[in-house]
Amino acid sequence: MAKRSWLALFLCAALVFTVVGCSSATTKKGGFAAGLVTDTGGLNDESFNQSAWEGLEKAKKDYGVDIKALESKSDDDYIPNLTKFAREGRNITWAIGYKFDKAIPDIANQFPDAKFGIVDSDLGGKIPKNVTAVTFKEEEGSFLVGVIAGLTTKTNKVGFIGGVTSPLIKKFEVGYIAGVKAVNPKATVSVAYAESFADAVKGRSLAQSMYNNGADIIFHAAGGTGKGLFDEVKTREKGKYWAIGVDRDQSNLAPDHTLTSMVKRVDVAVYNVTKELKDGKLKPGQHVVMGLKENGISMADKHVSPDVEKKVEEYKQKIISGQLKVPSTEAELANFKP
């Protein structure tokens, strides 16, 4: 008898859950709607996911764009998350990070009427008709921080720490070296790769040996590995040893030792592309490259002296006007004459 009553209880509960079922209604507004799917970093990663979301929030403020975000818990979630937005009929769905480079072509093929955007990948040049791919001219920003390093160094030795050897990180390295050499041909650049984006201990030991060998300024493009650089520079003499941050203003990691940071404006990119799609100015299926000219790259100034800043502004204008083309590969660097 006792068992029966339990069963009855369960059935009642089940009934409640299913009956209430049919009432939900997600009404869609008539306006422009944008979705954003983060990679496994999540919305509060203090890096490009967060920055991208800030871009959409600005679009919401300025143009009343209806925005919504989904965080991916694992690689498995990329496709279902993108599908949810596509099915909802969002006007654009952003995939943040090159980790989506396998999911986006599949999903774009499956939903030919939906539009997508991907940040930090050009999909190997094969961009589907309904996808906008956004990449950045990292070499241009790296060139300018190279100029800053070349003019600021006292020892004529500077360093670069890369995450994983890849064409993307090479763009940082090559641009940086070109910038240093352009203003200070006597300076030498020592280069090391940690072969990891998450190994702060390795980052620190690389930074330590570079500083010990006479370098006084180190630029990194190494994600979490770069945190080790800031850990190391903090322990050294103020005003003599410097670190240069990447992707966002990293001066909070070592306020007195961060010379500057090369900032990738993912927020600007997401905002601009969303706006241009909304206004019909941009046709999907294109590769959008964000450089200094497009405000896709900027410098976070911290301890740069006014004289150096003047010089940086000069080079910046030269790059924007097209007078100076910054190399992005080693082959281009070999032929580079400032």
Partner 1 sequence: MQQLFSRMNKMSTFLASLISIVLGMLIGAIMMVAAGYNPLEAYNALFVSALFQPYDLGETIRTVTPLLLTGLAVAIAFRTGLFNIGVEGQFIVGQMAAIIVGLKLPLPSGLHAVAAVIAGGLAGAIWAYLPGLLKAVRGVHEVIITIMMNYIALYLSNAVVFHLLAPGADSTEKIPDSASLRVQWLSDLFGGARVHLGILIALAAAFVMYVLVWRTRLGYELRAVGFNPLAAEYAGMNVKKSVILSMMISGAFAGLAGAVEALGTNGYLPIMNDFTGIGFDGIAVALLGANTPVGVILASILFGVLEYGGGNMQFEAGVPFEVIRVVFAAIILFVAANIVEKIFHSRRKKGVKTNA
Residue ranges binding partner 1 (CB under 8 A): 2-3, 6-7, 9-10, 13, 16-18, 20-21, 23-24, 26, 40, 68, 70, 73-77, 79-81, 83-84, 87, 98-99, 102, 110, 164-166, 195, 198
CB 185 within 8 A of CB 153: no
Q: What is the 3-state secondary structure (H, E, C) of 61-122?
A: HHHCCEEEEECCCCHHHHHHHHHHHHHHCCCEEEEECHHHHCHHHHHHHHCCCCCEEEECCC
Looking at the Cβ atoms of 66 and 294, the one nearer to partner 1 is 66
Looking at the Cβ atoms of 9 and 201, the one nearer to partner 1 is 9
Looking at the Cβ atoms of 100 and 219, the one nearer to partner 1 is 100
d(CA 72, CA 11): 35
What is the smallest separation between the CB atom of 201 and partner 1, expressed in angstroms? 15
What is the smallest separation between the CB atom of 135 and partner 1, expressed in angstroms? 16
What is the smallest separation between the CB atom of 131 and partner 1, expressed in angstroms? 17
Which residue, chain included where needed, has tokens 């924007």? Answer: 320
What is the smallest separation between the CB atom of 125 and partner 1, expressed in angstroms? 16
What is the smallest separation between the CB atom of 175 and partner 1, expressed in angstroms? 19
R_g of the chain, CA atoms, integer Å: 24
Looking at the Cβ atoms of 11 and 314, the one nearer to partner 1 is 11
What is the smallest separation between the CB atom of 168 and partner 1, expressed in angstroms? 10
Looking at the Cβ atoms of 102 and 303, the one nearer to partner 1 is 102
What is the smallest separation between the CB atom of 39 and partner 1, expressed in angstroms? 10
Which residue, chain included where needed, has tokens 């080693």? Answer: 330
Looking at the Cβ atoms of 138 and 267, the one nearer to partner 1 is 138
Looking at the Cβ atoms of 127 and 187, the one nearer to partner 1 is 127
